[in-house]
Chain A
Amino acid sequence: MPSATVNKPRPSELLSRLTSAEPEVKVRALREVKNQIIGNRTKKLSFLKLGAVPAVAGILADSIDDVTDNNNCNNDSNNAINILVQSAAALGSFACGFDAGVQAVLDAGAFPNLLRLLANPNEKVVDAVARALRMIYQSKLAPKYDFLQQKNMEFLISLLNSEKENVSGLGASIITRSCETNLEQKALFDAGILRKLNSLLEGGSLSQRDASLESLATIFRNNPEVISKFAGPEIGRPLSSIIDLAKDRYPRTRLLACMCLIVIRNASPHFLQDIGIKTKLIHILLELLDDPGQVGDEAPFAFSSLIAQKEDLQKLALEANAIDKLHHHIKKGSLHPRRYEGILLALDDMCSKLESCRSKFLSLQVLNLLADALTDYNAGVRAAACICLKSVTRSIKNLSAGYFMNETIVIPLVQLFLDPSTSVQVAALGATSNIVVDFTTRKSIFVQCGGMKQLVQLAKSMESSVRSNALWALKNFVFQADNRLKEGVFSELTASLLSSLIRDPEPSVQEQALALVRNLVDGCINLIEFVFAEDGLILGAIGRQLQCASKAEIGIQGMYALCNVASGNEFHKEAVMQLLFTQMGDKNQSFVIKFLQSNDSRLCTATVWTIVNLTCPSSPGAPGRLEKLRNAGIVSQIKNMVNDPCVDVKLRVRTVLGQSMAFGDN
C-alpha cells in the first residue's frame, strides 16, 4: 500500500517533544527532525531559526555518559544508544554543506562532546559521531586543529589507524581542512602520517583513497622538501600509486589524483616534468569535463591550476584541442554556474600568453558566446567572462583590426560598469582597458554606447580599485586618440576632478591619473592647454604630487606628463621650469635631482627626456633654462650619468649634453 502521508508534526511541536522525559518520545522526535532536514536546506534553516541546534546539542550533552558499555541489550540502553546516534546524525546533517548550521553546532558547544564520544564503546555511536565531525571539518568554519601539539598528533594518528571508514576519513578531513603552514606539513611528515596515508591509497576503500588524495595534496602544497622526502628513497613508487589513481574507474578519484599530481608539479621542479605525464594530465582533465556532476564542475579549475602561467602546458593543451573542447561545453548551455565560471577561467588561462590560443578561440566565432556570459545572472560567471575577455583582447592583431570594438561586446561590457558586485566592475574595467586601445578609428563606438561617461563616473567611486581601473581604461582610451575624442574626455572629467584624482590618497589612483594626463596632452600642442585650465589646477597637482611621490611609478608618469607639456611652446616650457624649481619646506634640492639619482632607470629616463625638451635648441628660451638647470646642479648630475648602464638613459643624457654644447657649454 503506497504511503502518502503529509500529516507531519509542525517543527515547533517536534521541538517541544524533544524536551520530553520519555526516552522513546525523545528518540522518535530526534529521528523525525533528522529525517525532515536531510537533503533539505530550507528546513535546516527554519529549524535553525527555531533553536533546534542548541536543543539537540543539549540532549547529546546530557546523554553523553549514558552508554558506558557495549553489552547491555535492554530497552533502556537501546534508547540511550539511539538518542546519541540520532542526535549526532541530526547535528551532522545541520552541518552538512551548510555554514550557518556548522556555526550553530559550534556555538552550541557540541564540538567537544562529539570528540569525547569518539571513544564510546558502541560502534553505531562512534560511526554517527565521526560522520558529524567530518561534516564540520568540510567547512571553513571548523575549529583550527593544532598539529604541533604532541597530544593532538597522537590523537590524529589514532583516528587514521582506525578500521572504521568514517573515523579514518575524519582524520583525513582534519588534515585537509587544517594543515596550512610548511611547519605543520613537516610535523605531519615527521609523525609518519604520509606513510599511513599512502597505505590507505593502496589498500583502502574508495572513500579512504579519495580522502587520502585530498590530504596528501594539502601536505604537499608549496612544500618541495616534503615532496622529495615522500617520493625520494623509493624513487617513483609512491608517486606511481597516485599516477595510477589518475586512471581509476571513478571520476572523482581521477580528479583528486590529478589535483594531487598538479600540486606536486607546481611545488617542485624535479617531479612530473616529462612530456608524457603533462599530456596525460591534460587529457584526463579534458575528459573529466564530460562528467555531468560535481566532478565535471571542478575539472576546469584543476585544468587552470595545471596550465596557469605555463606556456609549455598551454601549447600542449592547444594541441590536445583543449579550446575546442572547452568551447563545446559552453555551447551546450544550461551550465551549472560553477562549471560555467570554471570553463571561462580555463579559457582565460589558455589565452593569457599565447597568440596561437587566442587566434584559435576567436576563430570559433565566440563574441556572441562571451556577450551571453557577460549578461549571466551569476556574478562569478560575469566576472569570469570579463577576465576571459581581457586575455583574449591581448591579441594585438585582432585589436588592430577593430574586432572587439563592436556593440555586441561593448554594450554588455559597459552595462557591467554599474554591476552591484565590485569584483565584476573591476574585471569589466580590465577588459575594457584592452578593448579601448583600438588602433582603428572606431573608438567613437565606445562613446556612443555611453562607455566614456560611465568611466568618468566610476573614477569617482568609493572603491579605490574601481577608481584606478577606471582611470586605466580612460588612459588607454585616449592613447593616440584624435583631438575631438580627447577634448570630449577632458570636458567630461573636468580639471578639478582630474587634479583631485592626481592627489588621491591611493598611490595606484595617483599613478593612473598622471598617466592619463600624459596620454591626454601627448601629440598636439593645443591639448597641452588642458593642464593650464582653471588656473593651472592640473599642473599644480602634478607638481605637488611629484614632490611627495611614494613610488617610482608615480614619478615616472608625472615626469612623462611634464615631458609632454615641455614639448610645447615657450610658455609651456617656462611653466614646467617653474614647477621643477618650486621648493617644499626647507629642501634646497629639487625633486629632479632625486629622480636623476634614482635606481630606477625608467624614472631617470623620463626625467632626462623632460630636460631634453626643456633645452631643445630651437626654442629661444633654451639658453636661459639651461643656465638655471646648471645653477641647480642638474647639468652636472646629468654629466655623471653619461655612462649609465641603461641604454635609454645614456642616449638621452648624450642628447642633453649635445644640446648644452650647442650653447657653448663644456
Chain B
Amino acid sequence: MASSKKLISREEWEKRLNNVKIRKEDMNKLVMNFLVTEGYVEAAEKFRMESGTHPDIDLATITDRMAVKKAVQCGNVEDAIEKINDLNPEILDTNPQLFFQLQQQRLIELIRNGKVEEALEFAQEELAPRGEENQSFLEELERTISLLVFEDTSNCPVGELLDISQRLKTATEVNAAVLTSQSHEKDPKLPSLLKMLIWAQNQLDKKAAYPCINDLSNARLEDPTF
C-alpha cells in the first residue's frame, strides 16, 4: 500500500543529523542547570572543576536548600521550617499555601507516630486558625484529622496522606519555593527539551516515516516502519 508520507532512511537521517552543530558549552550548561536545580551539589562542584562550566547559582546556597529538602523527606518538618526561615524568612510569611502544607505534614507525622493527643492539640492551636482564614485549608485539615478516625489507615480514603509520596510532594514544593526566592527557575531545562523533542516527533509523524527516538533514556534511533 502506497503511503503519502515521505520515507527517510537511517543513512539519510544520520547524515542530516551530522550537519546540525551543537555546541559543547551549551550541553555543559544544560547538565549544570540540571544538577543545580535538582540539588546535586557535589556532582555540580565536580562537574564545575572538570568541565569549567560556571553554575548560574552560588553552590553554597544549594547545600542549604538540599538540607531543607532532606529534612522534609525525612519527616523532620519542624527542622525544615527553621532552616527555611534561616535562609529566607519571607518565603513562609508570604506563601500561606506552602506554610499550610508544611504544618499539615507535621500533623501527619504526629499521627503516624501515634501521638494522638499532641496531634489534636497541634491541629487545634496551629492549624485551626489557618482553616478559619481559608476554606480550602479547612477542607484539607478535616481530611487530615480524619486519619485519626480510621483504625486501618492503609485502606482508608485518605490513606495517601500517610504515604511517603506526600512527603516528597511537599519537599518538591519547598524546593521550588526556595529556588524562586533565589530568583532561579524552579524547573530544569532538560525536561522541556525532551518535551519539545516528543512534540516535534509527533508533528513529523504526520508527514514522514523516519528513524525516531522512542526510548528517551538511551536516545536510540529506531528504524522507520510503515
Taking a contact as CB atoms under 8 Å apart, the answer to whether A6 and B113 are in contact is: no
Write the B108-142 contact mask toward A (1 if CB under 8 angstroms, else 0).
01101101001001100010010001011000000
Choose one: B94, B96, B135, B183; the contact of A206 (CB below 8 Å).
B183
Which residues, 5 to 28 on A, are CB-close (under 8 Å) to B?
Answer: 5-6
| Bound: A62/B122 CA distance, A | 35
| Bound: A205/B112 CA distance, A | 42
Choose one: B81, B94, B113; the contact of A4 (CB below 8 Å).
B113
List, in ascending order, chain A residues with CB within 8 A of B93's CB. 38-39, 93, 96-97
| Bound: A554/B112 CA distance, A | 75
Given A89-B89, A93-B89, A207-B183, A3:B99 Cβ within 8 A:
no
Q: Does A42 contact B (CB under 8 A)?
A: yes
| Bound: A334/B133 CA distance, A | 14
| Bound: A88/B81 CA distance, A | 18
List, in ascending order, chain B residues with CB within 8 A of A206's CB. 180, 183
Closest-by-CB residue of A relative to B102 is A39
Q: Does B74 contact A (CB under 8 A)?
A: yes
Taking a contact as CB atoms under 8 Å apart, the answer to whether A39 and B122 are in contact is: no
Closest-by-CB residue of B relative to A2 is B75
Taking a contact as CB atoms under 8 Å apart, the answer to whether B118 and A4 are in contact is: yes
List, in ascending order, chain B residues with CB within 8 A of A438's CB. none
Taking a contact as CB atoms under 8 Å apart, the answer to whether B94 and A97 are in contact is: yes
Q: Does A34 contact B (CB under 8 A)?
A: yes
Chain A: interface size category: 20 to 34
Given A2-B112, A40-B126, A165-B183, A34:B89 Cβ within 8 A:
yes
List, in ascending order, chain B residues with CB within 8 A of A31's CB. 82
- Distance in angstroms from A539 CB to nearest chain B CB is 57
Taking a contact as CB atoms under 8 Å apart, the answer to whether B129 and A41 are in contact is: yes
Interface SS majority for chain B: helix
List, in ascending order, chain B residues with CB within 8 A of A92's CB. 89-90
Q: Does B44 contact A (CB under 8 A)?
A: no
| Bound: A35/B85 CA distance, A | 7
List, in ascending order, chain B residues with CB within 8 A of A165's CB. 183
Write the B36-61 contact mask toward A (1 if CB under 8 angstroms, else 0).
00000000000000000000000000
| Bound: A302/B126 CA distance, A | 35
Taking a contact as CB atoms under 8 Å apart, the answer to whether B94 and A334 are in contact is: no
Taking a contact as CB atoms under 8 Å apart, the answer to whether B82 and A35 are in contact is: yes
Which residues, 171 to 218 on B, are CB-close (under 8 Å) to A?
Answer: 180, 183
Q: Does A254 contact B (CB under 8 A)?
A: no
Q: Does A486 contact B (CB under 8 A)?
A: no
Taking a contact as CB atoms under 8 Å apart, the answer to whether A205 and B183 are in contact is: yes
Write the A92-115 contact mask toward B (1 if CB under 8 angstroms, else 0).
110011000000000000000000
Closest-by-CB residue of A relative to B113 is A4
Chain B: interface size category: 20 to 34
Q: Does A177 contact B (CB under 8 A)?
A: no
Given A97-B94, A205-B183, A3:B129 Cβ within 8 A:
no
Closest-by-CB residue of B relative to A336 is B134
- Distance in angstroms from A197 CB to nearest chain B CB is 17
Given A34-B85, A89-B89, A97-B93, A39:B109 Cβ within 8 A:
no
List, in ascending order, chain A residues with CB within 8 A of B113's CB. 2, 4
Q: Does B92 contact A (CB under 8 A)?
A: yes
List, in ascending order, chain B residues with CB within 8 A of A6's CB. 110, 118, 121-122
Write the A66-98 contact mask toward B (1 if CB under 8 angstroms, else 0).
000000000000000000000001001100110
Closest-by-CB residue of B relative to A334 is B135
| Bound: A102/B28 CA distance, A | 47
Q: Does A394 contact B (CB under 8 A)?
A: no
| Bound: A334/B137 CA distance, A | 12
| Bound: A521/B149 CA distance, A | 71
List, in ascending order, chain A residues with CB within 8 A of B109's CB. 2-4
Choose one: A5, A40, A89, A334; the contact of B78 (CB below 8 Å).
A5
Which residues, 58 to 103 on B, are CB-close (under 8 Å) to A?
Answer: 74-79, 81-82, 85, 89-90, 92-97, 99
Taking a contact as CB atoms under 8 Å apart, the answer to whether B75 and A131 are in contact is: no
Candidate in A5, A39, A42 with the most chain B CB atoms within 10 angstroms: A39
List, in ascending order, chain B residues with CB within 8 A of A131's CB. 89-90
Given A39-B96, A165-B183, A334-B135, A4:B110 Cβ within 8 A:
yes
List, in ascending order, chain A residues with CB within 8 A of B136's CB. 334
List, in ascending order, chain A residues with CB within 8 A of B95's CB. 39
Closest-by-CB residue of A relative to B106 is A4
- Distance in angstroms from B92 CB to nearest chain A CB is 4
List, in ascending order, chain B residues with CB within 8 A of A293's CB. 97
Closest-by-CB residue of A relative to B82 is A35
Choose one: B76, B81, B110, B112; the contact of A35 (CB below 8 Å).
B81
Closest-by-CB residue of B relative to A44 is B93
Which residues, 187 to 207 on A, are CB-close (under 8 Å) to B?
Answer: 205-207
| Bound: A4/B108 CA distance, A | 10
List, in ascending order, chain A residues with CB within 8 A of B74's CB. 1-2
Choose one: A4, A38, A42, A97; the contact of B89 (CB below 8 Å).
A38
Closest-by-CB residue of A relative to B182 is A205
| Bound: A89/B89 CA distance, A | 7
- Distance in angstroms from B148 CB to nearest chain A CB is 14
| Bound: A89/B82 CA distance, A | 13
- Distance in angstroms from A549 CB to nearest chain B CB is 52
| Bound: A592/B126 CA distance, A | 73
Which residues, 465 to 501 on A, are CB-close (under 8 Å) to B?
Answer: none
Taking a contact as CB atoms under 8 Å apart, the answer to whether A3 and B121 are in contact is: no
Closest-by-CB residue of B relative to A88 is B89
Taking a contact as CB atoms under 8 Å apart, the answer to whether B121 and A38 are in contact is: no
Candidate in A31, A89, A128 with the most chain B CB atoms within 10 angstroms: A89
Chain B interface residues (CB < 8 Å from chain A): 74-79, 81-82, 85, 89-90, 92-97, 99, 106, 109-110, 112-113, 115, 118, 121-122, 126, 129, 133, 135-136, 180, 183
Ranked nearest first, the 3 interchain pairs of A and B with the lowest CB-CB distance are A2-B75, A39-B99, A205-B183
20 intermolecular pairs with C-beta atoms under 8 Å apart: A1-B76, A2-B113, A4-B106, A4-B110, A4-B113, A6-B110, A6-B121, A31-B82, A38-B85, A38-B92, A38-B93, A42-B129, A89-B89, A92-B90, A96-B94, A128-B89, A131-B90, A165-B183, A205-B183, A206-B183
A3-B79, A38-B99, A39-B95 given; name 17 further pairs at CB < 8 Å.
A2-B76, A2-B112, A3-B78, A4-B110, A6-B110, A6-B118, A35-B85, A38-B89, A38-B93, A40-B99, A40-B126, A40-B129, A89-B85, A89-B89, A92-B89, A93-B89, A96-B94
